[in-house]
């Protein structure tokens, strides 16, 4: 049985690669972890990929996403427990719904290698479940590249490094003492840059990239922080979800 992990980019069906289109076209069953009505728009966007590129007769198997504690005392332990529950649910779905010799797939936002847990789940499926799986991974356009393209910028000055990190890691920095000249920050629902950025640091922020609801804001942090906060709150109220990312540049 073939299991594909297909990166489909940040949301715009035009930003999917030709390799991903081909992979979708030869897949029989698509596995979807259902996160409930609050992300109905994301589910509809995934369906648009299938309507455009999947073969006639393909099937979608919806798997209820196990609940997760968003504020645990031990973050890493909770993530491991949640991943294990996801693996068990997915293994049962594959066993019950995918025939031997068929191909199944996950559609992953952005690129599967960048702050996404799907490949870790697949590793556990291969190692721990009683399934004979041949795994294929198809890369996708990252939200980081979509962000810089939307702002029409280079992510760094000549020869400078770029650090990819999370809001949780950014919070560990000393206020005003940015560890790197350019930091691309993901998974930051708390807008941690408000506490860590220096007065003259610049930010290039984007939310729901590649969708009709895309929002872009840029400028010095001290000038646009409130604007970003307000835009993020408004977007969540209107759509039910926010996927945002930003480049923080030392002033």
Specify whether the CB–CB gap between 204 and 246 falls below 8 A: yes
**CA distance linking residue 210 with residue 186, whole number of Å:** 16
Helix (H, G, I), strand (E, B) or coil at 33: strand
**CA distance linking residue 3 with residue 6, whole number of Å:** 10
Residues 215-251: tens digit of each pLDDT:
999 999 999 999 999 999 999 988 888 999 999 998 8
Specify whether the CB–CB gap between 90 and 67 falls below 8 A: no
For helices 18-25 and 40-53, the axis angle rounded to 10 degrees is: 80
How do the pLDDT tens digits run along the chain, 251 residues long?
899 999 999 888 888 999 999 999 999 999 988 766 556 677 778 888 999 999 999 999 988 888 888 778 888 888 888 888 888 888 888 888 888 888 999 999 999 999 988 998 898 888 876 778 899 999 999 999 999 999 999 999 999 999 999 998 888 875 555 568 999 999 999 999 998 888 789 999 999 998 888 999 999 999 999 999 999 999 998 888 899 999 999 88
pTM for the whole thing? Answer: 0.86
Specify whether the CB–CB gap between 42 and 34 falls below 8 A: no
Span between the terminal Cα atoms of the chain, in Å: 52
Beta strands in the chain (DSSP E): 2-7, 29-34, 59-64, 103-108, 134-138, 163-166, 182-186, 202-207, 215-220, 244-249
CATH number of 2-138: 3.40.1010.10
Residues 183-193: tens digit of each pLDDT:
999 999 999 99
**CA distance linking residue 151 with residue 121, whole number of Å:** 33
**CA distance linking residue 152 with residue 167, whole number of Å:** 24
**CA distance linking residue 54 with residue 58, whole number of Å:** 7
Domain residue limits, the chain: 2-138, 143-249
Topology adopted by domain 143-249 = 3.30.950
Give whole-number Cα distances, 117 to 26, 120, 123, 242, in Å: 24, 5, 10, 18
């Amino acid at each position: 049985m073939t299991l594909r992990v297909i990166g489909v980019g940040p949301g715009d069906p035009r930003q999917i690669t030709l390799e991903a289109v081909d992979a979708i076209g030869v897949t029989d069953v698509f596995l979807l972890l259902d996160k409930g009505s609050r992300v109905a728009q994301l589910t509809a966007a995934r369906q648009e990929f299938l309507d455009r590129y999947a073969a006639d007769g393909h099937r979608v198997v919806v798997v209820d996403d196990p609940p997760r504690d968003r504020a645990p005392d031990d973050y890493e332990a909770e993530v491991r427990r949640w991943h294990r529950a996801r693996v068990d649910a997915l293994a049962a779905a594959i066993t019950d719904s995918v025939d031997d010799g068929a191909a199944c797939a996950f559609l992953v936002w952005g690129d599967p290698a960048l702050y996404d847990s799907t490949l870790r789940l697949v590793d556990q499926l291969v190692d721990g479940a009683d399934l004979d799986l041949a795994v294929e991974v198809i890369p996708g356009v990252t939200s980081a590249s979509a962000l810089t393209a939307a702002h029409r910028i280079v992510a760094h000055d000549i020869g400078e490094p770029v650090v990819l990190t999370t809001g949780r890691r950014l919070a560990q920095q000393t206020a005003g003492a940015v560890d790197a000249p350019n930091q691309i920050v993901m998974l930051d629902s708390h807008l941690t840059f408000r506490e860590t950025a220096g007065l003259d640091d610049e930010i290039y922020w984007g939310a729901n990239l590649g969708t009709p609801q895309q929002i872009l804001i840029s400028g010095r942090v001290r000038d646009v922080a409130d604007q970003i906060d307000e835009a993020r709150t408004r977007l969540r109220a209107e759509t039910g979800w926010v996927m945002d990312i930003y480049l923080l540049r030392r002033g």
